[in-house]
Every structure is written in C-alpha cells, then in structure tokens.
C-alpha cells in the first residue's frame, strides 16, 4: 500500500512540476540578425524577429528592369548596389535616337530607419526602392509602391 502511495505521489509531483513552467524566455543569438528570442507563456509562444532586408538579405548586386516611359518604348534601368552603401544607377531611354546614350549616376545610398527602403540621391535625382528578396521595387516620389496594372513594370530583378 505504501508503495502505491509513493508512486502516486511521485507521479503527481512530476505532473505538477511540468505544469508549473508557465513563463520562460529562451534567447538565441545565431546570426545576430535572425530570431532574437522566443517567449513561452502558458503554452503560447511568440517569436520576435528583428530581421530586415538590410541585415538579413543578400541585397548587394545588380538589378535590372524596364520601367514605363510616356514618350519612348521604355527606360532600361540598372542599379548596382555595392559595399559601403555605394551605387551605380544607369538609365537608357529605349527607342530614342537623340537619348541613346545611357545616363550613369554614382554615389551613396541611405537606408530608412526600418532597414527596408534605400534612397539614392545625386544632384537633383532622388529615387527610393523597397528592398525585397532578389528584387528592388521602384517607389513613387512619396515613397509608396506604384499600384495598378503597371505595378509589375516597376520591379527591378536581381541578375
């Protein structure tokens, strides 16, 4: 009889110990940019992910696309993002004989506070891009994505 009471008590203590863990924080610093912590609270979990395109994507490289043009066949745009926040921006008006020479602008780009948008500024030229996996999304002058039927034409794909 004592043996049964002892086993039942041991089982109860084990079960009680398992349910007592209602709040625990586990910290993981794997790539210093991926998941920062996982909080477990009463069988619910929250994952805090502080990754942004700036710190988690391989965004350096060459991006190309042809954006719409009102009085030509399109504008071939090439953006090269280099280390040290440097860029080379090339635009070439297609189908324009008098503008057949590409325009090349070099300089430094800046990131917004969220690490999701880069802006290139050179003289009077200012253009922002939303950085996504293997592509840059051309933004309008207010910093918004271009919507509608032509929105797909404002995406520069990584080469």
**Cβ neighbours of residue 130 under 8 Å, at least 6 residues apart?**
116, 117, 136, 137, 139, 145
Asked which of 32, 51, 70 is the last residue of a domain, the reply is 51
Same domain, 93 and 69: yes
The verdict on 23 and 36 lying in the same domain is yes
Supply 57's token pair.
């994507």
Q: In the structure, what pLDDT confidence band is assigned to residue 101 with cuts at 50, 70 and 90?
A: confident
Number of domains in the chain: 2
For residues 96-101, average pLDDT: 67
Q: What is the pLDDT of residues 7-34, one digit of tens each?
A: 555 555 554 455 544 444 444 444 444 4
Q: What is the DSSP string of 43-78?
A: TEEEEEE---HHHHS---EEEEEEE--SSSSEEEEE
Q: Give the domain CATH number at 103.
A: 2.40.128.640
* 42, containing H or E segment: none
Report long-range pairs for 117-121 (Cβ below 8 Å, ≥24 apart).
117/143, 118/81, 120/79, 120/87, 120/89
- The boundaries of the domain holding residue 27 are 2-51
Both 60 and 109 in one domain: the answer is yes
All residues at 6 or more sequence positions from 141 whose CB lies less than 8 Å from its CB, including other chains? none
Quick one: 74 and 42 in the same domain? no
Q: Which residue has the tokens 């080469």?
A: 159
Judgement on whether residues 85 and 122 belong to the same structural domain of the protein:
yes
- Grouping H, G, I as helix, E, B as strand and the rest as coil, residue 151 is helix
Q: Which two tokens stand for residue 81?
A: 């993002």
Shared-domain flag, residues 13 and 82: no
Q: pLDDT per residue over 108-135, tens digit each?
A: 999 999 999 999 987 877 899 999 999 9
Give the end of a domain, one of 13, 32, 51: 51
Q: What does the DSSP 8-state code read for residue 115?
A: S
Report in angstroms the alpha-carbon separations of 121 from 69, 76, 110, 127, 148. Answer: 21, 19, 9, 7, 26
pLDDT tens figures, 80-98: 999 999 999 999 999 866 6
> In this structure, are 47 and 58 located in the same domain?
no
Same domain (yes/no): 104, 88: yes
Q: Which pLDDT tens digit goes with each residue over 35-70? A: 454 555 566 667 777 777 777 678 999 999 999 998
Do 59 and 27 belong to one domain?
no
Q: In this structure, are 58 and 109 located in the same domain?
A: yes
Same domain, 65 and 143: yes
Residue 47 shares a structural domain with residue 59:
no
């Amino acid at each position: 009889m004592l043996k049964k009471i002892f086993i039942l008590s041991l089982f109860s203590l084990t079960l009680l110990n398992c349910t007592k863990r209602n709040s625990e924080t586990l910290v993981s610093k794997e790539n210093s940019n991926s998941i920062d912590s996982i909080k477990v609270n009463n069988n619910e979990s929250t994952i805090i992910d502080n990754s942004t395109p700036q710190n988690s994507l391989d965004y350096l490289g060459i991006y190309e696309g042809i954006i719409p043009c009102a009085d030509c066949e399109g504008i071939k745009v090439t953006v090269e993002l280099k280390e040290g926040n440097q860029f080379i921006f090339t635009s070439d008006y297609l189908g324009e004989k008098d503008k057949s020479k590409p325009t090349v602008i070099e300089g430094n780009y800046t990131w917004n506070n969220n690490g999701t948008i880069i802006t290139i500024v050179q003289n009077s030229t200012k253009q922002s891009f939303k950085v996504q996996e293997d592509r840059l999304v051309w933004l309008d002058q207010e910093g918004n994505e271009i919507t509608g039927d032509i929105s797909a034409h404002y995406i520069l794909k990584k080469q």
